[in-house]
């Protein structure tokens, strides 16, 4: 899955992004918990501020008696605002007042208000909520709190009943906790911004690295593709330290390859020269052997003709002509080995082709008491029928000469992968083991009457078709094969 550098870099970028998202979620969660704790703390502080108003009010009305005529509502109301001011003066951000059921607000104060001058007007936007929480506190008879969440802040209200000479009195307090403002929110935004910058920087760096490596590798591939595999080019530096190490290694390998190739070419030339000399030696020895006997015979016949009568002269001339024909045949076969004609490829019906060759040798096979059969597992093929006939003629004649009586010589054609195989199989003893490695060389033969040129001709015809000739002897059967590259018809 991660076999390429690009896939690994993309995976690394995904890991960085996932880690950043996880850290961002953790930071957001911690901020939310911090905001929730702040809201809870301010809710408790608001409730304590309400209780402080209640205590200040009890102290304020402790000297009043309900039967005292001067304890009228107007007289008590005059001192309620200082009561609220004294209870809330050391509680920043909290505003409050005293409420009477049926009458509404009797007093209001916001001592820590940061505006120009003191704030004395009741917040009209929250009047409905203030009324509702005061009614709830009066109805339940104890302190109650309420939260109202907005998009950027939480509104906290608290109310508690006030004992005293006047019925239906409650104290209330209110504050706002800004959850998306302040130092904590700024820290959260700074942290998330840094995470985003880190992810973007990682994405830019990894993308640049991926593109740079891909571009340099593509350039190296293009340079290598335009040169022969035996001639590695000198690759230019990429500017990337790791890639340049590979480039230097390839350049050094190319230099070593060039040196090794030159050394191999020198050795190949030396080996080829040695092989040519050896081949010339073998051919020379073979030709000398094949020519010496006819020349000796012709010399003897010529000497007899000079010393004899007319009849003996005619017999000698006939024998000399026979030896000359033998030498001519030898030269013809030598030329067949050395000449490499370009094959004239044709579409050939293999069944007809093999059948025609088998019929041509049927009389010789019958004389030797051998059956000759042809089998074609392929319908058609492309090759030079004239050259392949000569090659198969040599193989069939060799097989008929060594096959036991009452045996069968098989001539077959089959397809093996992308190669056409023409095979001649007999049940003879096969060539002597000491000759099998040189069987297709000129003048190599295991028969006293053979010239050793037939298999050389077979090899040259196979090579002209870009194929090979081969031999194997297994399970008492000797098989000679001509293996040719398959040519689509």
Contacts of 264 (CB under 8 A, 6+ apart): none
More confident call, 69 vs 158: 158
Cα 100 from Cα 79, distance rounded (Å):
15
CB-CB neighbours of 108 under 10 Å: 20
Q: Answer yes or no: are the C-beta atoms of 486 and 422 closer than 8 Å.
A: no
Among 252-261, 281-290, 315-324, 366-375, the range of highest mean pLDDT: 366-375
What is the model's pLDDT at position 340? Answer: 57
Mean pLDDT of 20-43: 77
Query: CA–CA distance from 304 to each of 180, 292, 322, 392 (Å)?
Result: 135, 18, 16, 42
What is the C-alpha separation between 487 and 19, in angstroms, rounded?
61
Query: How confident is the prediction for the chain on average, in pLDDT?
Result: 80
Contact 403, 366 (CB under 8 A): no
Contact predicate 154/145, CB 8 Å: no
- Structural contact between residues 478 and 427, judged by C-beta atoms closer than 8 angstroms: yes
CA dist., res. 104 & res. 395, Å (int)? 129
13: number of Cβ within 10 Å: 17
Distance CA 326, CA 293 (A): 10
Model-wide pTM > 0.85: no
pLDDT given for residue 185 in this prediction: 63
Cβ proximity of 107 and 121 under 8 Å: no
Residues paired with 149 in a beta bridge: 154
What is the enclosing helix (H) or strand (E) of 369? none
Measured CA to CA in angstroms, residue 477 lies from 39, 367, 374 at distances of 102, 22, 16
Phi then psi for residue 472, to 5 deg, are: -150, 150
Q: Among 146-150, 339-343, 351-355, which stretch is predicted with the lowest mean pLDDT?
A: 339-343
Angle at 138 between CA 136 and CA 140, to 5 degrees: 65
Percent of the chain at pLDDT exceeding 90:
18
Residue scoring higher pLDDT (211 or 77): 211
**What pairs with residue 178 in β-bridges?**
153
For 264, the token pair is 């191999």
Res 103: pLDDT: 87
Of all residues in the chain, what percent carry a pLDDT higher than 70?
78
Instruction: Give the distance from CA 476 to its chain's centroid.
Output: 51
If you average pLDDT over residues 124-147, what whole number do you get?
Answer: 91
Q: Is residue 230 predicted with pLDDT exceeding 80? A: no
Question: Residue 324 above 50 pLDDT?
Answer: yes
DSSP per-residue letters across 242-267? HHHHHHHHHHHHHHHHHHHHHHHHHH
**CB proximity list for 483: less than 8 A, separation 6 or greater:** 419, 420, 421, 462, 467, 468, 469, 470
User: Which residue intervals of the chain bear CATH 3.30.450.20?
Assistant: 5-184
SS3 377: coil
Per-residue confidence (pLDDT) for residue 420, from 0 to 100: 92
DSSP at 411 = E
As annotated, the residues of the chain forming the CATH 3.30.565.10 domain(s) are 341-485
Q: Which pLDDT value is given to residue 67?
A: 47
pLDDT-based confidence at 60, cuts 50/70/90? Answer: confident
Whole-number pLDDT of residue 69:
44
Total residues found in the chain within this entry: 489
Q: How confident is the model at residue 222 (pLDDT cuts 50, 70, 90)?
A: confident
- The answer on pLDDT for 127 being more than 80 is yes
Q: Is the confidence at residue 32, as pLDDT, over 90?
A: no
Q: 341-485 maps to which CATH number?
A: 3.30.565.10
Higher pLDDT, residue 146 or 488: 146
pLDDT in tens, 445-457: 555 455 566 777 8
DSSP bridge pairs for 485: 419
Name the pLDDT band for 234 (thresholds 50, 70, 90).
confident
249-261 tens-digit pLDDT: 888 888 888 888 8
**Tell me: the pLDDT tens digits for 364-420?**
888 899 999 999 999 999 998 888 888 888 888 888 888 899 999 999 999 998 899
Confidence of residue 177 (pLDDT cuts 50, 70, 90): confident
> CA-to-CA distance for 423 and 406, rounded, in angstroms?
20
Which CATH number does the domain 5-184 belong to among 3.40.50.300, 3.30.450.20, 3.10.105.10, 3.90.600.10? 3.30.450.20
Query: Is it the case that residue 70 has pLDDT exceeding 60?
Result: no
- Tell me what pLDDT residue 282 has: 60
Q: Which of 67-81, 162-176, 305-319 has the lowest mean pLDDT?
A: 67-81
pLDDT tens-place string over residues 138-163: 999 899 999 888 877 889 999 999 98
Please, which residues have CB within 8 angstroms of residue 261's CB and are 6 or more apart in sequence? Answer: 230
Tell me which of 263-272, 388-397, 440-449 is least confident. 440-449
Taking every pair of Cα atoms in the chain, the longest distance, rounded to a whole number of angstroms, is 193
Give the confidence band of 3 by pLDDT, cuts at 50, 70, 90: low
């Amino acid at each position: 899955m991660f076999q390429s550098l690009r896939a690994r870099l993309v995976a690394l970028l995904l890991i960085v992004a996932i880690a950043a998202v996880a850290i961002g979620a953790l930071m957001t969660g911690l901020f939310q918990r911090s905001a929730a704790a702040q809201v809870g703390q301010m809710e408790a502080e608001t409730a304590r501020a309400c209780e402080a108003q209640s205590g200040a009010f009890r102290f304020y009305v402790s000297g009043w008696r309900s039967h005292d005529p001067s304890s009228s509502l107007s007289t008590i109301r005059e001192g309620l605002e200082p009561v609220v001011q004294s209870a809330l003066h050391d509680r920043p951000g909290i505003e409050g007042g005293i409420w009477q059921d049926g009458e509404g607000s009797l007093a209001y104060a916001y001592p820590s208000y940061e505006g120009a001058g003191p704030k004395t007007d009741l917040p009209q936007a929250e009047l409905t909520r203030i009324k509702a929480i005061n009614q709830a506190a009066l109805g339940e008879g104890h302190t109650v709190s309420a939260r109202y969440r907005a998009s950027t802040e939480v509104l906290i209200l608290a109310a508690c009943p006030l004992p005293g000479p006047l019925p239906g009195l409650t104290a209330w307090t209110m504050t706002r906790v800004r959850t998306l403002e302040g130092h904590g929110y700024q820290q959260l935004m700074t942290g998330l911004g840094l995470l985003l910058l880190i992810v973007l920087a990682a994405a830019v760096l990894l993308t640049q690295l991926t593109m740079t490596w891909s571009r340099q590798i593509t350039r190296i591939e293009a340079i290598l593709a335009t040169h022969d595999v035996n001639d590695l080019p000198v690759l230019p530096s990429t500017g990337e330290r790791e890639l340049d190490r590979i480039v230097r290694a390839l350049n050094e390998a190319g230099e070593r390859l060039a040196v090794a190739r030159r050394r191999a070419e020198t050795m190949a030339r030396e080996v080829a020269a040695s092989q040519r000399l050896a081949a010339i030696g073998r051919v020379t020895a073979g030709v000398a052997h094949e020519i010496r006997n006819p020349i000796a015979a012709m010399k003897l016949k010529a000497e007899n003709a000079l010393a004899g009568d007319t009849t003996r002269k005619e017999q000698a001339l006939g024998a000399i002509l026979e030896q000359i024909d033998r030498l001519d045949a030898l030269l013809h076969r030598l030329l067949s080995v050395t000449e490499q004609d370009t094959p004239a490829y044709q579409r050939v019906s293999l069944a007809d082709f093999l059948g025609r060759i088998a019929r041509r040798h049927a009389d010789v096979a019958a004389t030797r008491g051998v059956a000759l059969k042809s089998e074609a597992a392929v319908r058609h093929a492309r090759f030079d029928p004239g050259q392949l006939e000569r090659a198969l003629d040599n193989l069939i004649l060799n097989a008929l000469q060594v096959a036991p009586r009452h045996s069968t010589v098989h001539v077959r054609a089959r397809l093996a992968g992308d190669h056409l195989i023409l095979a001649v199989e007999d049940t003879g003893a096969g060539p002597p083991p000491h000759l099998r490695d040189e069987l297709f060389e000129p003048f190599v033969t295991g028969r006293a009457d053979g010239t050793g040129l037939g298999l050389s001709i077979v090899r040259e015809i196979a090579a002209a078709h870009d194929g090979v000739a081969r031999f194997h002897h297994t399970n008492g059967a000797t098989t000679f094969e001509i293996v040719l590259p398959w040519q689509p018809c």
